Structure 1
Amino acid sequence: MAHDSAHRLRLPHGRAADLASACGVFLLAAVWNAAPLIREDPTEPWPVTLLGWLLIVAACGALYFRRRYPVAVTVFTLAATAAYYLTSAYDGPLLVALIVALFSVAAEGRLRAAVAIGAVVVIGVGIGTLAGNGDVNGVAIFMLTGWLVAVVALGTMRHGRFAFAEEEARRRATEERLRIARDLHDVIGHNISLINVQASAALHRLKKHPEQAEDALAAIKQSSREALGELRATLGVLRQVDEEAPTKPAPGLARLHELVASVKPTGLDVKVCNLGQARVLPAAVDLAAFRVVQESLTNVTRHARGATTVEVRLGFGERELSLAIEDDGDYGAVDRGAGNRNTGGSGIKGMRERVAALGGELSAGPGPGPRGGFAVTARIPYED
């Protein structure tokens, strides 16, 4: 199958397509003009015939530049074609060169220029008919007008299709950049926050209780190793490197115990409670739920003062997954209603975007408990 696709006939594109169109139109016009010479019954003087050939070469050769200078090439082709039909006795198909050039103008999005040139062609042919040109009648003018309208319409449709494809590609690229930014923020930000907290604890214990600083340093080593591994995995995906498939399972609620263990050295007691019968979640929902819990725990370790307990509740409903993460920390002057806006972060905003992309909702604000704290609640439908 790969062998057949490698030898499949492919149409030229780019400069090759321009050269092919110029040569094709020239071959068509040359064969038509050469027929009377082969039959040895020329009906016009040799200087006029030579001028006709020069006009054919000029009009067809200009098509090679039709993508770079569409309007200029079309105007030049129109002038050469008009001169040819006014001087030559052979009614050749050089009009095809003008049609190809006019299509290029419309395909490049120059609709007004295409309509104006098409109108000039119709008006010029009409004036020639009124002046006594018996080769063109009203029916021919009507058919020519239809051809020109169709060519401009096709060119405009092609321009619209390519413009839509480019816009779609830009939109997908933007969404992919946002997704990568959220993943990097969730993964790297979580581990760096833990490293920061554990480093502070190690410095605090180093002078008074050096033996207790060893646990904090070991936790820093483990968190930095995990952060480096996650960063390498993400960069490997971005580079599309052909490596062996990762053996570590993808982030999801099944790895929630690892997340809880990673924050335990900070002194937080994280309790996970399942409401309803646990079920296999779609991959996107599973990842989003894990990232919400991860970012919520990161915010607790980063912003809460005196937090000792975090409760994570997972509700497995019939159609959606509900999440609630509540802590008992003191956030002081931090604007809890806006998340971590005062700190310049984008954690809660990223969580909202991730959940909204799956058709869910997320809210964050002061906790309902007597000590206040902070609460993050979300609902994510299984199917959207």
Structure 2
Amino acid sequence: MGGDAPAGGGRTPGAAQSRPVSGRGRSQARRAAPAYAALDLGTNNCRLLIAEPSYHEFRVVDAFSRIVRLGEGLGLGDRLAEGAIDRTVGALRVCKAKIEARNVVRSRLVATEACRHASNGAEFIERVRAEVGLEIEVVDRQTEATLAVMGCASLAHPKAGSVVIFDIGGGSTELAWLDGQTGGDEICASERIRAWDSLPTGVVTLAERYGSTRVTHGVFEDMVAEVGGRLLPFALKAGAAAATPNFHLLGTSGTVTTIGGIHLGLERYDRRRVDGMWMRGDDIETVTDKLIESSIQERASNPCIGRDRADLVLAGCAILEAIRRAFPAPYLRIADRGLREGILMSMMLEDKVWVRRRRI
């Protein structure tokens, strides 16, 4: 697990508790605390996080995640499919019910690459507004990258001269080069971004183009080569990052958390063990090779992958491998946090909730 890696620095809002906390046994006053809601509607997942401010952190009180594959088919076309829309609307109804059940004072609900790319993305957003009653904002790539950085930057090592943070999504991959000491200073993390990029390639779109049932080493290398070509402009801007002291990669996505869970041999995925863990490059290669050699049935039976993601995990591994080749680093730190946490932080910072609490 790279146990001799430098200890990570700093706490971030939500880092201590990012699992739903039951309201049973709590006082009415405790349950009535004002809450914030953040929704990340991606190409593959619909994910909701509801949290209450808690001193210099936030406390998660409810969460929801469902694989909806909203962007299914976008690797080969430009329209959201009706089946994908219906699945997503169903998941959003669950999110709406959770938001209404909590004392949510402010929410931000964002959609990313699938809705940016699809020719009927605006129609879908309007349908959600009319049928579900949720106002969803389609954010641009820079906003998505910035929020993802805010959500996980506190895991960057405080002595790192530079860090490359990446978020491998279903339809796009965001990258940012952070300069200077970022650990523990998540509030100013967005101001430390020296360069950023968003690749129009994610696990869903890549898997649809190259196939996903049987991925040979040759097919895997073809995927890596495609992503590497798309990475080149960012690598030219941020190439100096890898030469700085204590440089490392920091990844947030289902791909990296899956690799971490497999490396640990978890019988059931455990966020507490994966979030913040360090991995060496050769350990990442071992897991990747194991996945390439496995059948899709074997991948589906792995508790850290599951049936819904068995056909996507190797596309994610290819994107990760391209990033590792562009930015050689002895260590990768894994974050099971990102866009939703960044959204929550940005709202709470704007509302100055922690400043007010410190004055009490």
- Under a length normalisation based on structure 2, what TM-score does the superposition of the two structures give? 0.24
Higher percent of residues as helix: 1
Question: Higher Cα Rg: structure 1 or 2?
Answer: 1
* Structure number with higher relative contact order (C-alpha < 8 Å, ≥ 6 residues apart): 2
